[in-house]
Amino acid sequence: MNIIQFTLSRQQKKLTLNFDSNHHLSLDFEYLRVFSPGEAKPKSGAKTPEVFHKKEVQLTRIEPLGKYGHRLVFDDKHSAIFTDQTFKTLFENYNVNWQGYCESLTGNQNRETSISFVEVK
């Protein structure tokens, strides 16, 4: 299965991937950001990444990287390379990953945006 199309829904904050086999899958921007490849490894004993305050994150750009995959660029200046297999694995493990992440949240380390920045032109 190869990805043939990406569909970004900024309103729903979802990325939908369409494959040549007529399959598709959708993943939330926040989930992709929190579980992006190359993100800092969890502390020993932790099962989830320690990335917080990403509930409102937006996916701003997708860059094709040939055989390596696709670079996803988020509005918090983070970017990571996702392979087709990475997308599939994240989709297959969504429930376990998301539940573990939500259980790891605390009062200070939560999903809500910590500080709102506004660009002035």
* Confidence at 111, pLDDT banded by 50, 70, 90: confident
CATH 3.90.180.10 corresponds to the domain 30-104:
no
What are the extents of the domains in the chain? 30-104
Judge whether 111 and 55 are in contact, CB under 8 Å: yes
The pLDDT score that the predictor gives to residue 52 is 86
Nearest CA to 74 among 36, 112, 42? Answer: 36
Q: What percent of the chain has pLDDT over 70?
A: 87
The answer to whether residue 121 scores a pLDDT higher than 80 is no
Which tens digits make up the pLDDT trace of 48-106?
Answer: 678 888 999 999 999 999 888 999 999 999 999 999 999 999 999 999 999 999 998 88
The pLDDT score that the predictor gives to residue 2 is 83
> Using CB atoms within 10 A of its CB, is residue 13 exposed (0-12), middle (13-18) or buried (19+)?
middle
The DSSP letter of residue 21 is T
Which tens digits make up the pLDDT trace of 20-53?
Answer: 888 899 999 999 999 999 765 544 445 667 888 8
The pLDDT score that the predictor gives to residue 63 is 96
pTM: 0.83
How far apart CA 75 and CA 52 sit, in angstroms, is 14
